[in-house]
A and B are shown apart, each in its own frame.
Chain A
Amino acid sequence: MRKGQYQFVTGFLLAPMALYLIFVIWPYLQTIGYSFTDWKGQSQTFGFVGLDNYAALLEDNVFLQAIWHNILFLVFIPVITILLALFFAFMLNAGGRGGAGGVTGIQGSGFYKIVYFFPQVLSLAILAVLFGAVYRSDQGGLLNGLLVKAGLVDAGRPVEWLNEPSLVLWCLLAVVVWHGVGFYLVLFSAAMQSIPKEIYEASLLDGAGRAQTFFRVTLPLLWESVQTSWVYLGITAMDLFVLVSTMTSGQFGGGPDHHSEVMATVLMRNFLYFGKSGYACAMGVVMLLLTLILSVVTLRATRRERIEF
């Protein structure tokens, strides 16, 4: 960029920057300030307590457990979602073997593309209601109804999906993945379509099978999309407030007995229900730091040489 261009760009950015500063950065700074107080959230009277809130966080088993759950989600949500989305996108765009040497998707790929995107148009609130019905803990639930009909589960002891400490996290994970795959499929599809067909044709001529085409051609050329998706999904995994708080038991979710707790649910409970707002602000700051570290690590760890085409 030539000299003076920065000023030009800045001129355009002034208004959005001001909004950003007032509505994002300023509340941020306030939160950090409140995290050093014993603020109760319902008035402007509070005392300064220094680092007490942070010290208490280190001994708060519920919060530590919540971090652990977030980390679990952080590992599994991106991996499973991206793998599934990549697989489907590949099959839809380059998995077909019909025609005379042309590179196409499998049969009916246009139809599938639309169907896969359906979950994405549902809002999280609808999703929670929908899967509430799927996981319902008596025979009225979709899963239990099927399992009982199939004779796999005793009608008198249905599986209490969201009330089982060992199942609840996986049930939530399934919802997130189900909801997300469609979006990333479309994202990867778009990226795949920008890959020149000649490359595929060349590899086909060289006798590459589906797997080889995928790992040697598609994946390297999609790397930037995958990287972005990873950050996106990582952020989803750090949040998950809406799903957990609506689907699981407890004030702002997290049940049974804290087994599905994530940082955001612990934060909200302390902030609104227990009136420990200063303490909750400290949790918010920890969440921010973890998310920042995560995104820096992700962007660095996945950095590769870019291939221009």
Chain B
Amino acid sequence: MGSTSAHSNEGSTSTDEAPNRGGLGRRDLIKRSAALGLITVPTMSFLSACASGGGGGEGGSQTKGKVSKDNPFGVAEGSKVEVVVFKGGYGDDYAKAWETAFDKKWGTTSSHLGTQEITGKLQPRFNAGNPPDVVDNSGAQQIKLDVLFKSGQLSDLAPVLDAPSLDDPTKKVRDTLIPGTVDQGLQGGKIVSLNYVYTVWGLWYSGKLFKDKGWTPPKTWDEFLAVCKAAKDAGIGGLAHQGKFPYYINVAIMDLIAKLGGLDAMKAIDNLDPKAFVGSDAAKQSVEAIYEVVEKGYLMPGTNGLTHTESQTRWNQYKAAFVTSGSWLENEQLKTTPDDFDMKFLPMPLLPGSALPFEAIRAGAGEPFIVPEKAKNKAAGQEFLRSMLSKEWSTIFAQQANSLTIVKDGVDAGVQLRPGTKAAVDAVKAAGDNTFNYLYPNWYSEMDVEIQNASNELMAKRIQPAEWLKRAQAAVDKAAKDPNSKNNRRD
């Protein structure tokens, strides 16, 4: 493009150019091509971001060794295994420890990459058809699973789940896991991701603050509002949330809906029911309950605009009674939490007439591990996942990352837990079978984002609960129009 201007004779100059007539002056040539270049470069960078690396498609030959009873997938000795993990709140030391153990057992050579830029590093490789063998596809820059699945990039993990467990070969792997946790990896009726870390969601508070102020942890919504009021009277906020990321306040809203309306209310949303929000009493009452917190001024001042770290740090400084989050909170806030903070977990308090008991919590698995369909050493990838689900590796994870895994009783009793993690473990025990978890954020990214936007508006008092319900329902209806949504269904 830059060069064409050199040949054209149109231009801003008509006088003083006599000696150069018929061509262009050196100054003009450089100036004009520079100007045109400048115009095009910034837009180019955007467009080229869209362009693919080209080519690809061919998976190449897959490495495979001999299949035996101890080697159900046929890991080839001396083969290469490539592992990419999200290096976030859990670090990546656990993965390095796993890889060492894996290489020792199978005589493989594994290569390791710990990164936060999953999309940036891996999208070109998926496109080119040479993805790694195991990926922990997590974090803010994860490649959305629904997108990967629709592009045929994820392998079905049923063979791994149906293989014999390393701890007890008479059992299948899937029977050694906490019930319901593998469902989190469902896409179009298949389990395509292994969500490895067991997480609980709800409200968190400081045991110390509550003791000092003489507050009791609330069990009902009215008690919750009373504590918020007491907090406000004491000059601090009642509820803090991570306003810049409305994901967190949606935890509170959606938990209330599920606890009030029961599992049917939750499934109605996941299954894109035409009455998931508008026409659902549970949804209406829950959103109105949350809005009451806003209207009465019980939010921590400014919390709507804060990031997760800003907001949670304020909470660590005793500026708010409660904060919404998942059980990664303790690990995330390790540095800013005072030693005597005594972090505690609280299941979402109950609205009158709730279908589920107070102890019921949203619990489920996070941190999706995948084996790409086009991985060169798929067998090793599958074996890697099977090993992750052994007690040995699960304990390694608990030690290195200070969190629980989906393996049932997967941590040696000797491991010392921090107060917040211990509170989470106790909550899981108390909840028993009363756990629930939403699947729509994994299935419908767009709908999730639209509901988050509506929640952001609600918390800022710019829309009313009725409008929130309308917008959430519109997002559901829009997702239902996509023919692919027929493949996702939970009963």
| A binding-site residues for B, Cβ under 8 Å | 1, 5, 9, 13, 17, 20, 23-28, 30-31, 34, 40-45, 132, 135-141, 144, 155-158, 160-165, 228, 231-232, 235, 238-239, 241, 249-251, 255-258, 264, 267-269, 271-275, 277, 280-281, 284-285, 287-288, 291-292, 295, 299, 303-306, 308
Contact = CB atoms under 8 A, between A and B. Distances in A.
Given A275-B147, A280-B50, A139 B302 contact: yes
Given A30-B54, A271-B49, A287 B302 contact: no
B147 A284 contact: no
A275 B129 CA distance: 17
Given A158-B302, A231-B38, A250 B453 contact: yes
B453 to A, nearest CB: 5
A28 B47 CA distance: 6
A288 B126 contact: no
A138 B453 contact: no
Given A138-B314, A257-B453, A275-B147, A155 B52 contact: no
Contacts of A308: 16
Interface stretch (B61-69, B239-247, B264-272): B239-247
Given A45-B152, A140-B310, A291-B39, A284 B50 contact: yes
B413 interface: no
A291 B37 CA distance: 12
Nearest to B244: A249
A255 B301 contact: no
B273 interface: no
Contacts of A144: 302
A17 B152 CA distance: 38
A42 B13 contact: no
Contact of A40 (B51, B150, B297, B304): B150
Contacts of B144: 273-275
A281 B50 contact: yes
Q: Which of A20, A26, A258 has the most CB of B within 10 A?
A: A20
A255 B297 contact: no
Contacts of B20: 1
Contact of A256 (B47, B147, B457): B457
A1 B303 contact: no
A180 to B, nearest CB: 14
Contacts of A163: 243-244, 304-305, 456, 460
Nearest to B446: A274
Q: Which of A251, A271, A308 has the most CB of B within 10 A?
A: A251
B152 A287 contact: no
Given A144-B302, A287-B43, A42 B151 contact: yes
Contacts of B51: 26-28, 30-31, 34
Interface residues of B, number: 71
B127 interface: yes
A30 B300 CA distance: 49
* Those 8 A-B pairs whose CB atoms lie nearest each other, nearest first: A137-B305, A138-B302, A275-B147, A27-B51, A27-B48, A43-B151, A1-B23, A42-B151
Given A30-B54, A251-B449, A281-B50, A41 B305 contact: no
B153 interface: yes
Interface string B17-55: 000100110000000000110111111101111111011
Given A44-B57, A136-B302, A138-B302, A238 B153 contact: no
Given A40-B147, A238-B43, A257 B301 contact: no
Nearest to A165: B462
Given A138-B303, A257-B457, A42 B126 contact: yes
Interface in B434-449: 445-446, 449
Contact of B123 (A31, A41, A238): A41
B12 interface: yes
Interface of B: 1-3, 6, 12-16, 20, 23-24, 35-36, 38-44, 46-52, 54-57, 119, 123, 126-127, 129, 143-144, 146-148, 150-153, 243-246, 297, 300-307, 310, 314, 445-446, 449, 452-454, 456-457, 460, 462
18 contacts: A9-B6, A13-B3, A24-B40, A30-B52, A31-B48, A41-B127, A42-B126, A42-B151, A43-B129, A138-B300, A158-B301, A163-B244, A163-B305, A239-B42, A257-B456, A273-B144, A303-B12, A306-B16
A289 B158 CA distance: 48
Contact of A292 (B39, B129, B246): B39
A31 B47 contact: yes
Given A42-B126, A160-B460, A273-B449, A291 B146 contact: no
Nearest to B146: A275
B153 A235 contact: no
A42 B48 contact: no
Contacts of A140: 302, 310, 314
Given A30-B54, A255-B453, A157 B301 contact: yes
A42 B147 contact: yes
Q: Which of B50, B151, B243 has the most CB of A within 10 A?
A: B50
B151 A272 contact: no
B35 A299 contact: yes
A30 to B, nearest CB: 4
B121 to A, nearest CB: 13
A41 B148 CA distance: 9
